[in-house]
Amino acid sequence: MSLFDHKASELHEFLFKKELAVSELVDESYKAISRIDDKVKSFLTLDEENARAQAKALDETRDNQNGILFGLPIGLKDNIVTKGLRTTSGSKILENFNPIYDATVVQKLRAAQTVTVGKLNMDEFAMGSSNENSAYQATRNPWNLDYVPGGSSGASAASVAAGEVLFSLGSDTGGSIRQPAAYCGVVGLKPTYGRVSRFGLIAFASSLDQIGPITRTVEDNAYLLEAISGLDEMDSTSANVDVPRFVDSLTGDIKGLRIAVPKEYLGEGVGEEARNSVLEALKVLEKLGATWEEVSLPHSKYALATYYLLSSSEASANLSRFDGVRYGYRAENVESLIEMYKQTRAQGFGDEVKRRIMLGTFSLSSGYYDAYYKKAQKVRTLIKKDFEDVFEKYDVIVGPTTPTPAFKIGEKTSDPLTMYANDILTIPVNLAGVPGISVPCGFANGLPLGLQIIGKHFDESTVYRVAHAYEQATDYHKRKPQL
């Protein structure tokens, strides 16, 4: 049995009874990485020397005043900047970038005294649903190495599922935490927009991006979210709201809770296995005392087009800073400044990033702005209003996280539109800015399926309460891939 089969609270108890050392936890992580990461390919950069030194120092200072996350190993998605530790965002254009500061979430993790093991692979600049768009390697699904782990936080989910780290951080722009969590059979939460600081997150689409936790259990997820949440003066979109003790909401009691099930989330395009797993999950929630009704989110059908117009437009603006002048990759043997710009971006960006920059630049251009970008913003408002209308009567919204289980590596790389459709159930949550979690709810052909639970703005506590009650009534979260 791996040490990482225990919850954070259990490991915390072992540490302070002196039955376990932080050094042993860190050693467990690096042993697992050395044993299986050549197959799973989760990590891009390891920080072993610093991690072992930190573990030794923590062992010498531990006492019963330390928090629940003290000494626990964590992996970070490679678009979260870390001082002095290479941060590539999965792109060639940042292949040798060593940041000179820490992201706010990294500072908060240091305050909680976690140990950063290394940086995790991702789709380049978080653009992708399969982890195949990384400039460095394709991460694989621990449940079946021929399949994708999802994206863009695929390695964040795969590393937790494979037992390489206890938990990880990812980022979610259109489902990039929840979709890989579903594909890899772990728990992944996208917090309310503004709950967690984005300072130090390399931007893809600033009005959609949000950092969130990926864990083995709902309880661990609640502890990790509490640690990274809070107002940050370095992020103008950070919300000044209280950070509750999310773990206090894990009572198991959901009697009288009202659940909405959008007919659009169980309709055309959703596979039979995903649909049936949700219907079975609803039976479990009914037995626990909740009630559910079918509702409609009528503008959901426009979410995919709206998302790709808005996110690509924001990406076009955000990625204009990567020009070879100040940092990152620079093309050589060029004859002028303009040529250097062109060649740096042509050589440094991958195909998917170029595709989205082109789409975004077109959408923002004179003569097309009103027809595309402005109209997409109006539709986004309608999508948000759909959620607000449903939440007037219901406590949470429930549906599948993804239409199908994971697909094979290489199966959809030649068809971007089909690839984009994998996020069709997660994208509306980002457009509305509400929180959503994916928890394991079944298997299809040996591959995990995810149940998505969506809540009201800044009501992660209710989302966690429902997710935890369901988790405790089932055993899907206890199953592990055999590598």
How do the domains of the chain map onto residue ranges? Answer: 3-251
Instruction: Read off the tokens for 262.
Output: 């959008």
Strand ranges in 342-400 using DSSP code E only, listed in sequence order: 396-400
For this structure, is 385 an active site residue?
A: no
pTM of the model: 0.97
Distance, in Å, from the CA atom of 291 to the CA atom of 260, rounded to the nearest integer, reads: 9
Residue-wise pLDDT for 166-212, tens only, equals: 999 999 999 999 999 999 999 999 999 999 999 999 999 999 999 99
Q: Which of 41, 77, 190, 456 is catalytic?
A: 77
Residue-wise pLDDT for 27-71, tens only, equals: 999 999 999 999 999 999 999 999 999 999 999 988 777 899 999
CB burial of residue 38 (10 Å; 0-12, 13-18, 19+):
exposed
Helices (H), ranges, 86-153: 104-111
For this structure, is 77 an active site residue?
A: yes
Top CATH class, 3-251: alpha beta
Distance, in Å, from the CA atom of 81 to the CA atom of 94, rounded to the nearest integer, reads: 12
Q: What single DSSP character describes residue 92?
A: G
Q: What is the pLDDT of residue 413?
A: 78
Output the CA torsion sign for 282, 436, 268, 257. Answer: positive
Q: Quick one: the chain helix, strand, coil %, rounded to 5? A: 45, 15, 40
Percent of the chain with pLDDT over 70: 99
At how many degrees (to 10) do helices 460-473 and 218-228 cross?
Answer: 160
Q: Which of 29, 130, 153, 176 is catalytic?
A: 176
Q: What is the pLDDT of residue 269?
A: 86
Per-residue pLDDT at 272 exceeds 90: yes
Q: What is the pLDDT of residue 62?
A: 84
Strand ranges in 255-364 using DSSP code E only, listed in sequence order: 258-262, 291-295
Q: What is the pLDDT of residue 471?
A: 98
**Can you name the residues that pair with 440 across neighbouring β-strands?**
450
* Cβ partners under 8 Å of residue 43, min gap 6: 33, 37, 75, 117, 118, 119, 120, 121, 155, 159, 164
Percent of the chain with pLDDT over 90: 94
User: Is the bond leading into 197 cis (omega within 30 degrees of zero)?
Assistant: no
For this structure, is 108 an active site residue?
A: no
Q: What is the pLDDT of residue 171?
A: 98
Q: Which of 130, 152, 171, 316 is catalytic?
A: 152
